[in-house]
């Protein structure tokens, strides 16, 4: 990774962190005044009821930070490389399309989450869009994004141990499946103070490193901006949380992971970096399946699995620490796969 590129990523992340952290001083009181408080599910852990009324839609913090950082990235890059036109920094094939499609994916996912959160807040219940409504919206956003990438890479995808594989038109349904699955998996993981944000920062770091390594400047800037934005958000979200990210935030985080991974043509790396998201999703599937097959028995004390560990006596801080460590191991594995497989 070029030193100027590294400095650009660091400065971009710093801008995002500063904007996100400072914005919390105004956004959180504003959400309180609007009474945009989270409604806690009755079926959740009983001690979560004390979180009733904590402002939601806090994902706006890292989205604002990301936006400010990306806007600042162009002059930052030009200052570091004054003789290079700004657009020339996007050197890879179809890089400009990949960059703007990735940004639109993030905000498209955030828009779906906003609609879901808004319905919850207005109706004062922990239900928003119906599952069908949410799925249709996600399919539309994912289809638009994956199709735009297909036009750039003609359906090619890097597969560990097999190299670059030309999938042809199969790239589109597979890509849609990955995007929808990943965004929903991240959404399921959001349920403990600081959990979703912490593991997403760790999951994004190897993708940022690979974006720099492969010269994918646009994806690197997106990853760096979101990492900084999330860290600024965590100033307000670590236990005890003063604001929740809401579906607006968690769906946007799923979108940014896909935007960077697909942007460098390595979406399968979402498996190792997203090992916690996958475990959370599988725990829900297994719980529901086992409940139906046994006519009411439960495999876990509660799902997703972070609630199971809560019911076993783990503190929220312990859960965040352990799950972050697991994500770190998966992220190291992703780098090894990318470089040696």
Token pair of 163 as six digits: 């190299």
Q: Each residue's pLDDT tens digit in the chain (341 positions)?
A: 677 788 889 999 999 999 999 999 999 999 888 777 655 555 556 545 556 668 889 999 999 999 999 999 878 776 776 555 555 555 555 788 899 999 999 999 999 999 999 888 876 666 678 889 999 999 999 999 999 999 888 889 999 888 899 999 999 999 999 999 999 999 999 989 999 999 999 999 999 999 999 888 899 999 999 999 999 999 999 888 899 999 999 999 999 999 999 999 999 999 999 999 999 999 999 999 999 999 889 999 999 999 999 999 999 999 999 999 999 999 999 999 998 87
Nearest to 236 by CA among 224, 225, 222, 249: 249
Q: How many CB atoms lie within 10 A of CB 98?
A: 27
Of all residues in the chain, what percent are helix, strand and coil, respectively (each to 5)?
75, 5, 25
Three-state SS at 1: coil
pLDDT at 120 (0 to 100): 82
Dihedrals φ, ψ of 27, to 5°? -70, -45
What is the pTM assigned to this prediction?
0.92
pLDDT at 77 (0 to 100): 74
Token pair of 198 as six digits: 């912490």
Burial class (CB in 10 A: 0-12, 13-18, 19+), 213: middle
pLDDT at 15 (0 to 100): 96
- 304 within 8 A of 191, measured Cβ to Cβ: yes
- 167 within 8 A of 158, measured Cβ to Cβ: no
In order, the DSSP letters of 173-220 are HHHHHHHHHHHHHHHHH--STTHHHHHHHHHHHHHHHHHHHTT-HHHH
């Amino acid at each position: 990774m070029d030193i100027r590129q590294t400095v650009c990523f660091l400065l971009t992340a710093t801008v995002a962190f500063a904007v996100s952290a400072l914005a919390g001083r105004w956004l959180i009181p504003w959400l309180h005044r609007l009474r945009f408080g989270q409604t806690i599910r009755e079926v959740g852990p009983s001690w979560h009821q004390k979180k009733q009324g904590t402002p939601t839609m806090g994902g706006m913090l890292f989205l604002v930070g990301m936006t400010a950082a990306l806007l600042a990235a162009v002059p930052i890059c030009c200052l570091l490389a004054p003789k290079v036109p700004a657009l020339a920094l996007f050197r890879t094939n179809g890089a400009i399309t990949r960059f703007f499609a990735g940004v639109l994916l993030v905000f498209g996912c955030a828009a779906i989450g906003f609609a879901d959160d808004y319905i919850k807040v207005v109706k004062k219940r922990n239900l928003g869009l119906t599952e069908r409504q949410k799925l249709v919206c996600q399919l539309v956003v994912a289809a638009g994004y994956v199709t735009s990438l297909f036009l750039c890479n003609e359906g090619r995808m890097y597969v560990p141990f097999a190299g670059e594989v030309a999938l042809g038109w199969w790239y589109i349904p597979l890509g849609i499946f990955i995007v929808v699955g990943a965004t929903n998996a991240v959404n399921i993981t959001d349920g403990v103070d600081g959990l979703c944000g912490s593991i997403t920062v760790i999951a994004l770091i190897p993708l940022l490193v690979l974006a720099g390594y492969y010269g994918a400047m646009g994806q690197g800037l997106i990853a760096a901006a979101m990492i900084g934005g999330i860290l600024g958000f965590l100033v307000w979200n670590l236990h005890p949380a003063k604001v929740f990210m809401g579906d607006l935030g968690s769906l946007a985080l799923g979108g940014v992971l896909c935007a960077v991974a697909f942007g460098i043509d390595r979406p399968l790396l979402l498996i190792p970096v997203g090992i916690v998201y996958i475990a959370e999703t599988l725990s829900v599937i297994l719980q529901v399946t086992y409940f139906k097959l046994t006519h009411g028995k439960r495999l876990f004390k509660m799902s997703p699995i972070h609630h199971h560990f809560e019911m076993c006596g783990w503190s929220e801080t312990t859960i965040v620490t352990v799950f972050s460590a697991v994500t770190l191991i998966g992220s190291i594995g992703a780098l090894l796969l990318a470089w040696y497989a």
